[in-house]
Chains A and B, each alone.
Chain A
Amino acid sequence: MPEEADLRDISRSEIIELNLGPHHPSTHGVFRAVVELDGEMVVDVVPHLGYLHRGYEKTCENKHYHQVIPLAERCDYMGASSNSLCYCLTLEKMLDVEVPERAQVIRVIMAELSRIFSHLFWLGTHGHDVGAMTPLFYMLREREEIMNLFELTAGGRLMPNYMRIGGLIRDLEEGFVERLQSFTEHFDRRVDEYETLLTKNAIYMDRTKGIGVLPLEEAIALGASGPMIRGSGLAWDIRKSEPYSGYEQYQFDVPVETGCDVYSRYLVRVAEMRQSNRILKQAIDRLPEGPIRAASPGVVFPPQEEIYTKMESLIHHFMLVVEGLKPLVGEYYQTIESARGEMGCYLVSDGGSKPYRLKWRAPAFVNLETLARMSRGYFFADLIAILSSIDIVLAEVDR
């Protein structure tokens, strides 16, 4: 006669499936995962994507090259200017257009502000996910300041839509540099403040140290980039390894941590904000006078005043709007270091006025692939901390 099984053993071996999301504050958008749990321990995580899939790449294939810029910004809305920068750089390489010095420096300012903007919101919501309510309110204060700066440049607060192929849409508003300067002057002290809330906080360290370990080899195999791979001990930053927009002329460090855990990623992002601020200060110092758009008739829009006064400029403007620009037949892959890692744009041109194929290498999409690897064997509550340490933007994941 079979022995009666011990009730505790039965409950221990039972694996339950728990649905997480798609609507849940900790998923930062509409992300759904089916979590297999053994008691409170995570056995496996199966992500289900696509709740925010808008057919971005298909839409781009049916737009003129200039019309893609605002679409691109809607991919990673936390660092909108990085997206349009990546897209514009790709086309400038394809068209062989040289961007003027002043525009390059302003682009760096916008890209670094986007990085701080994105990291700030990440830090706030990440703190919130692990139970620290306070940081979010401080982060939103500085984030508001950056949004005001964006608003000054082109009107948009979240998505400025400021980059153009060959340069920028318009020059900086009067007073922008002064406001940016006052921001950079007090920002370092603000980062110190954030660090007093979390860096040596015993509860925060308990929740994040040794959690979500991603060894470097697996980070590389899974294609992780940005703070994910720098938190695993590899000093790889595209701004250093393949500089664009004149990044080789700025002095900044690449923060690296070797803990491979959630805490390391936190330290990397905080240190990155300080480095971005360093770049901003240098950019203000070296901001030269000059044009903000390349002079390439037929490819780059002519300045507004010329359209009203010169016949050729009017014709070029008209043709660009009606027919669009037409790059040579070819393909190009351009990468930049966005707040989340390697953001890439692979563009195939058939010589027409619309992209034949546009593949967006979204860093959050690839980084999310590491979630299952990082979560196995930890508590369910840790899964929330691990998920938020990836810093996903679902609009970019699903495209």
Chain B
Amino acid sequence: MNQESIGEKLLAKFGPDVIRTAVTFRDQVAVTVAKERILDVCKFLKEDPELAFNFLSFVAGVDRYPETPRFEVVYQLYSLKRNHRFRIKALVEESEPGSAVIDSVASIWPTANWHERETAEMFGMTFRNHPDPRKLLLPEDWTCHPLRKDFPLYGTDEDTPDLRSKAGSQGI
């Protein structure tokens, strides 16, 4: 199936309340879905015989700071049966620290486990019902989220207070 007809199929199934926008760039379409229904949409994408998206390439985050909603969670899908790709997104807002929450899709594609752990620590999001919500690449004691746009690339201890050298832990 081509990109447009996948988007249309989604729209026909879930309606404009869930399937909000579709942006086409070159030959790829990215569809934004309501984050409350992300599990339903993903389940449909995987189980519908015509779509059959059985392979999840990655889950990633994008920080649109200072826009609201602040975060995008991107799901890049592939169907090994039908040889087509598709990308869906959900917008996640952070009104107060720690309030950026979205359902984990690890129950649908187990490979999402590590991708979501990485996204969670890099952007400070929470994936609800994640089977293993530990940090993956960053040290346990870091409370900062490096891939956020307001996290400086370099700076002094004052710019990155979370990374300040502490007694008994390795500082930067």
Q: Which residues of A contact B (CB under 8 A)?
A: 49-50, 53, 55, 57-59, 62, 93-94, 96, 220-223, 234, 236, 241-242, 328, 330-333, 335, 342, 344, 346, 348, 356-357, 359, 361, 365-366, 369, 398-399
| 19 additional A-B residue pairs with CB within 8 Å, beyond A58-B147, A221-B109, A357-B62 | A50-B137, A50-B139, A55-B146, A58-B153, A59-B153, A220-B55, A220-B80, A221-B54, A223-B56, A330-B23, A331-B28, A331-B30, A333-B57, A344-B58, A359-B74, A365-B114, A366-B111, A369-B113, A399-B137
9 residue pairs from A and B, CB less than 8 Å apart: A58-B151, A328-B25, A342-B57, A344-B57, A356-B62, A359-B74, A361-B58, A366-B111, A369-B114
Query: Assuming A241-B83, A332-B26, A346-B76, is B111 touching A49 (CB within 8 A)?
Result: no
> In the complex, how many residues of chain B place their beta carbon closer than 8 angstroms to a beta carbon of chain A?
35
What residues of chain B lie closer than 8 Å to A365, measured between beta carbons? 114
Cβ of B58 and Cβ of A222 under 8 Å apart?
Answer: no
B110: CB under 8 A from chain A?
Answer: yes
Q: Say yes or no: A361-B57 contact (C-beta < 8 A), given A55-B146, A96-B26, A332-B26.
A: yes
Give per-residue flags for B4-32: 1 if the beta carbon is below 8 A from chain A beta carbons, else 0. 00000000000000000001011010100
Interface residues of B, dominant DSSP: mixed
Question: Smallest Cβ distance from B50 to chain A, in angstroms?
Answer: 18
A328 to B139 alpha-carbon distance, docked (Å): 37
Task: State whether A50 and B138 are in contact (beta carbons under 8 Å apart), knowing that A93-B26, A241-B83, A344-B57 are contacts in the complex.
Answer: yes
Supposing A50-B137, A357-B62 touch, asked if A234 and B80 sit within 8 A by C-beta, the answer is yes
Q: Is A223 in contact with B76, judged by CB distance below 8 angstroms? A: no
Interface SS, A side: mixed
For A234, list chain B residues within 8 Å (CB): 80
- What separation, in Å, do the CA atoms of A220 and B56 have in the docked complex? 9
Please indicate the chain A residues that have their CB under 8 angstroms from the CB of B147 in the complex.
57-58
Asked if A242 and B83 make an inter-chain contact with CB atoms under 8 angstroms apart, the answer reads yes
Bound-state CA distance A331–B111 (Å) is 23
**Complex Cα distance A348/B25, Å?**
11
| 8 nearest A-B residue pairs (beta carbon) | A223-B111, A330-B25, A50-B137, A359-B60, A53-B137, A361-B58, A221-B110, A357-B62
Residues of B whose CB lies within 8 Å of any CB of A are: 23, 25-26, 28, 30, 54-58, 60, 62-63, 74, 76, 78, 80, 83, 85, 87, 109-111, 113-115, 135-139, 146-147, 151, 153
Residues of B within 8 A of A357 (CB): 60, 62-63
Q: Which of B28, B60, B114, B139 contacts A366 (CB 8 A)?
A: B114
CB neighbours (8 Å) of B76 from chain A are 333, 344, 346, 361
Bound: A366/B63 CA distance, A: 23
A316 to B107, CA, bound (A): 51
With contacts A344-B58, A357-B62, A359-B58 taken as known, whether A222 is within 8 angstroms of B74 at the C-beta atoms is no
